[in-house]
Amino acid sequence: MTTETRQKLILVVDDEPDVITYLTTLLEDNGYATDSAVNGTEAMAKLRQLKPDLITLDISIPEKSGVRVYREMKEDPDLAHIPVLVITAVTGYGGKPEVFEQFLSSRKHIPPPEGFIDKPLEDREGLLRKIADLLA
């Protein structure tokens, strides 16, 4: 961590306080700045206000689901470039993340999310590598 380079800011969106604590601790330990949101409305507000470098997004969150947050982001020219890592325990669609990924991007030529990670995190180092790649 050099003082010249600004710390990258990651927004953690999840309604489970435990997940927020876990991910923010993990990310801060690896040199990132973090902020968090516990529902879709708060997530959209913080996205616009903070313009984070990346977000981790849970799908089953109150007020505005992760799916809606994702679509709204990708349709907003100011936010569309921000990489999104979906981190979810949603097990629909036969438990296949690819199918869910397709669903997320099924409308209006929305691209699939930059990353899709199942809860619990089976490969913590892999997640960190993925984030580093996306922020490079």
Count of positions on this chain that bind another protein (CB under 8 A): 23
Instruction: Give the separation between CA 114 and CA 119, rounded to whole angstroms.
Output: 16
Element (H, E) at 19: helix 17-29
What's the per-residue H, E or C state across 78-98?
Answer: CCCCCCEEEEECCCCHHHCHH
Q: Is 31 in the site for another protein (CB under 8 A)?
A: no
Residues 54-113 that bind another protein (CB under 8 A): 60, 62-63, 65, 89-92
Structure-token pair, residue 55: 């977000």
Q: Per rule CB under 8 A, is residue 128 in the interface with another protein?
A: no
Q: Is 118 among the residues that bind another protein (CB under 8 A)?
A: yes
Q: Of residues 31, 111, 120, 126, which one binds another protein by CB under 8 A?
A: 120
Quick one: 110 or 121, whose CB is closer to another protein?
121
